[in-house]
Chains A and B, each alone.
Chain A
């Protein structure tokens, strides 16, 4: 008896040890893992890790997820349940890299509790599942002095950008100040001298007031925006310098920009080999340059705008008309970028942006392959079929010529780059400027010297078009007021946001979602659609020709043969109805064929997976059983 009790004691003890080992091992070993997903879904990028390293105040991450409610909900919530685990895993990854500065709380807010009220107060999105059950799935990041930022709802469709969103959120809690942006432009992007009152006054006088571009109004919501004089020798006190369409900048200004960047300043640059907006605005000054470049500095940054070349892509070209007399047609000049343009580069700036419109964009190239102290990331490009083409101004007015002479390329032409790192000065020997001495009031040559190399890491984002930020190509007027025409403005704001964040934030990349669709099925569907389209056009052709015939008959009609013609008309119509009915039948057949093909493929595969192996095993099983039953001696 004693022995028995002893044994049971051992068993109980080992059960407890087992549970504890599992629990402890689980929480300790959680960090060690091999992330085999192609997307590296469970691994933080270096940018996020660097931001976490810099954390020196404790932050609390409150992940609100109505787990209990979700389990009472429909099957559809399962996908959210799964996503929740992913979000939680990723947040735990953050905690693991935060040197104990992050604390993660997972909160399941039940109805009518303090937690639920808090979730609502924070402004998290709330979905009513049933009368009592509410559903929350959001994140609050809080520091100990009461700054809080939220992600109001986690959308499983946004999984790729999750890491960027969370890192940005953490970053914004640490750095809550509103950033300042300076605009240096040859175009009247920001008219900060014009007060609304003055604009009103001008309108009343019948003059068109020069208003700021709408994009700046959007920017003002998030940033302090001001103009930078185009002739300056020092730029300071800015978080971001936005240079749009720089033309004929003086050496002094270039020097100022150069020194600004070397000192760690961030630049958002728009250069353009051919600007439509400029064309329109500077019409008065005929023969003025429509192109802009910043070659001297960009060379040092490691990229260049190809001279006298534009980027084109037949597969991205939009439909439009050059002027009122022309038929709408596909224009090489109108580049309508979709998800394909950014997906490949997996950068949070362009990732998932589905509609961006560019006009006569230029082609950017990396010239400094070594990239010792800096990294150059392409962030936007054409498809593989894109190419750059030479242009002269007179050819641009003939879209058909351009279209005909364009040759498809074999790799994407890049439209934008992000450059992060340290640079060398374009003015290693300084620059001499003429300056009026304050005392003598005589102009003197003075040599300005400054930094020869970057002291701090900096970042530059370059786009090869400036037109796309203009009102006309990024916003539209509707009955509801001014709205977004496309995602051009989002592109600008994304760029500013990344530049405004730390360098680390710039290096957080989107986690791609790999396309794993059924290629075979897609092909069948594609073929079926093609056949359907053919049938539809055939039907339309028939109807068209019938109408023609009917018209001809009508012309032949006179008093004498009116009855005959009518009869013939009716006969023809009957024939046509028959033909159309037949064609429609065929159309249905084509559609059905496609569908049936897929269904058949599906059921064939199902048979393969359900019956193939079992039947093989069955045959083998019966065979071996028979052999054994007979007691056949095996050969050995």
Chain B
């Protein structure tokens, strides 16, 4: 299914997360923070709610991803571009699409690896009570898809600029906008100059809404569709940008 080149790039990129300190730094920060905020003493805290589900865990996933996923994606293309290795990569018999896909899948797999590393929280709820494992599974799937969507956006901005900082900031801002697309303050702001119909359109892009239904254990084809379209569209954008740079 996956072409040989995609696999090769995927493997190399994935390996680079474990041979450079960056991957470890990311993982350690992510795993520590998600554990910390889940148990953080507040009203939504895991140990205060005393429900053997992962709602207090999944609630923070979008926000941690919002900061950490762009940090993963920012280097994807910006670094290649800056160091010039992109010239190496794209003069090998590899299409832009394969390269985009390989890099994206590698970083997505890395996000997946990090999610897998949160398994102690599943053990914790299993020890404390009787959780609904299917709901947890769907929650994880939702988180994985959300991570993929953020990454795809990050890929796009990483291809757009040589500068990793700019890529990071753009990604965070855009992901934030899409995440909060359904939130009243943003809608209120937009309603000052957008027609109601466009507002609805915009609201339907809200990532957190799609993510939350999955977190509750419902797998809607609509949600899967949403994430699939978002991921593919932004990756296509990324490919278009790289092609564009080639032509100019």
Contacts and interface: CB of A to CB of B under 8 A. Distances in A.
Interface of A: 3-4, 7, 10-11, 14-15, 17-23, 25-30, 32-38, 41-42, 67-68, 71, 75-76, 82, 85-86, 89, 514, 516-521, 602, 605-606, 608-614, 617-618, 620-621, 624-625, 628
Interface of B: 18-19, 21, 24, 27-28, 31-32, 35-36, 38-39, 43, 47, 50-53, 117-118, 120-121, 124, 127-132, 134-135, 137-138, 183-185, 188, 200-201, 204-205, 209, 212-213, 216-222, 225-226, 229-230, 233, 236-237, 240-241, 243-244, 247-248
Contacts of A35: 217-219
Contacts of B132: 37-38, 514, 516
A602 B218 contact: no
Contacts of A20: 201
Given A14-B237, A609-B38, A614 B221 contact: no
B125 to A, nearest CB: 8
A32 B36 CA distance: 36
A82 B128 CA distance: 25
Contact of B237 (A15, A76, A613): A15
Closest 4 CB pairs of A and B: A610-B35, A609-B35, A18-B233, A621-B24
B19 A71 contact: no
B12 to A, nearest CB: 15
Contacts of B204: 22-23, 26-27
Nearest to A21: B229
Interface residues of B, dominant DSSP: helix
B218 A614 contact: no
A86 B221 CA distance: 17
23 contacts: A4-B247, A7-B244, A14-B233, A14-B240, A15-B233, A18-B229, A22-B230, A28-B222, A29-B221, A30-B220, A33-B219, A33-B220, A36-B218, A37-B132, A38-B134, A516-B52, A516-B129, A606-B36, A610-B35, A612-B120, A614-B31, A617-B24, A628-B19
Contact of B138 (A19, A36, A41): A36
Given A15-B237, A22-B229, A624-B19, A518 B50 contact: yes
Given A26-B226, A609-B120, A610-B36, A517 B247 contact: no
A609 to B, nearest CB: 4
Contacts of A520: 127-129
Contacts of B138: 36
A521 B50 contact: yes
B84 to A, nearest CB: 23
Nearest to A518: B128
A20 B200 CA distance: 11
B228 to A, nearest CB: 9
B118 A613 contact: yes
B221 to A, nearest CB: 4
Nearest to B184: A71
A517 B24 contact: no
A22 B204 CA distance: 7
Nearest to B228: A25
A28 B241 CA distance: 31
Contacts of A67: 184
